[in-house]
Amino acid sequence: MLDANFWKDKSNSQKVIKEKKLYEELVSSYEKSINNLKDFDELNKLAIEERNTNFQNELLKNIKGLKELVKKNEIKCFLSSEADSLDCYIEIHAGAGGTESQDWAEMLRRMYLKWSFQKKFKSSLISEHKGDEAGIKSSTIKIEGDYIFGWLKKESGIHRLVRISPFDSGARRHTSFASVWVYPVVDENINIEILDKDLRIDTYRSSGAGGQHVNTTDSAVRITHLPTKIVVQCQNERSQHKNKETCLNMLKARLYDFEIKKKEKENQSHETAKSEIGWGHQIRSYVLQPYRLVKDNRSNHESSDPDKVLNGDIDQFLEKSLYQDI
C-alpha cells in the first residue's frame, strides 16, 4: 500500500484493502479476546474468594459470549479460497409441482434476502419470472458484502419442503422442491475469456415491476453460452445495454464457477444433482408437517424452529457447512 503505484490499479487496491480489513479485524478481535479472558480469570478468582455466586454466574454468561466470538473468528480463518471474498449471485428455480414449488422458490428467496438484510449486506433483484398463480418460476438475486460467496457457496443444491398446502382445498400434505445455485461475482483480477461467436443474445419484454418503459420495451436480455449451454438473464434495468452488461458479468461468474468445479473434479456430481429438481438430490429438508424440523442432509445439523430459519436465521447451517471443509 505504500507503493506509489498502488492506487493506480483501483480494482487491485480495493481487493487489498478488503483483505487488510479482514486481517486487522481478526487480529484485533483475537487480542481483545485474550485480554477479556485474562480479565475474566482474575474476576473469577476474586468472586471465589468472596463466595459471590451471582457474580460467577454473570461471568459464565460473558465467557459463553466470548466463546461464540472466538468460534466466529475461527470460521473466518477458513474463508481462504480464491473466490471466498467475492460477492455472489443466487439463482433459484422452482421444481416440478406448479404453484406449490413456485411458492416454495419464493420462500427460499425471501429467506436469503432476510439473511442479507439482518447482516446489513446489500441485495438486489437481477431477474424474476413470476409463477402462474403465486410464487416464482425462477429468480436471480445479487448479494454484496464481505466474504459473501465464502459463506453461501455450500447452499447450492436442492431444497425440499414438506407442509400442508395453502393451495389445496383438501388441506393435504405436499412435498415441494426448488434448486439454489450460488456463483461468485467475478472481479477484474480473474480473467474469463468469452468469445462473441459462442454467444446467443436474445431480447424480450420485461415482466414485473419497473414502470411503463420497462414493461413495454424489449429491455430484458437473455444470453446463452453455446459451448456450455449456460443461460443467464437480466431484466431489472430500464436500459437494454445495462441488462446486457449485467448478463455478461453473470456469465463470467457462471463460467468461473464451472471451471472451478471441473478443476476440483466435482463438476460431474454438481451437474448430476442439477439435472433433476426432486427426490434423492436434496441437500436440506424443511419439514412443517407432521412435525417441525429443518435438517441438512450433509452435516446432519438440525433445527426444530423452521419459522426462524425461513426468516433468515441460517448461520447455524452455514457454519456447519464451512466446518466440513476443515
* DSSP string over 1-37: --STTGGGSHHHHHHHHHHHHHHHHHHHHHHHHHHHH
Predicted TM-score (pTM) of the model is 0.74
Residue whose cell numbers read 483483505: 19
Length of the chain: 326
Comparing CA positions, the residue from 221, 226, 174 lying closest to residue 195 is 226
Task: Look at residue 211 in the predicted model and tell me its pLDDT.
Answer: 43
Helix (H, G, I), strand (E, B) or coil at 309: helix
Task: Look at residue 217 in the predicted model and tell me its pLDDT.
Answer: 65
Angle between helices 10-50 and 53-76 (to 10 degrees): 160
Task: Look at residue 277 in the predicted model and tell me its pLDDT.
Answer: 61
Domain 85-326 carries which CATH code? Answer: 3.30.70.1660
Query: From first to last of its 326 residues, what are the pLDDT tens digits of the chain?
Result: 667 677 777 767 777 787 788 788 888 888 989 999 998 888 888 888 888 888 888 888 889 889 888 887 887 777 877 788 889 999 999 998 789 999 999 999 999 999 999 999 999 999 999 998 899 999 999 999 988 999 999 999 999 999 998 888 788 889 999 999 999 998 666 678 888 999 999 988 776 544 444 445 678 899 999 999 999 999 877 788 889 989 988 998 888 888 877 766 544 455 454 545 655 568 999 999 999 999 999 999 999 999 999 999 999 999 888 877 65
Task: Look at residue 305 in the predicted model and tell me its pLDDT.
Answer: 97
Q: Give the DSSP per-residue string, 88-128.
A: EEEEEEE-SSTHHHHHHHHHHHHHHHHHHHHTT-EEEEEEE
Angle between helices 315-323 and 53-76 (to 10 degrees): 60
The strand pair at 199-204 and 302-303 is best described as: unpaired
Task: Look at residue 212 in the predicted model and tell me its pLDDT.
Answer: 42
29 CB burial (10 A radius; 0-12, 13-18, 19+): middle
Q: Give the DSSP per-residue string, 144-194.
A: ESTTHHHHHGGG-EEEEEEEE-TT-TT--EEEEEEEEEEEE---TTS----
Query: Would you kindly state where each structural domain of the chain is located, as residue ranges?
Result: 6-76, 85-326
User: What residue type is assigned to position 143 of the chain?
Assistant: I
Residue whose cell numbers read 434448486: 179
Task: Look at residue 76 in the predicted model and tell me its pLDDT.
Answer: 77
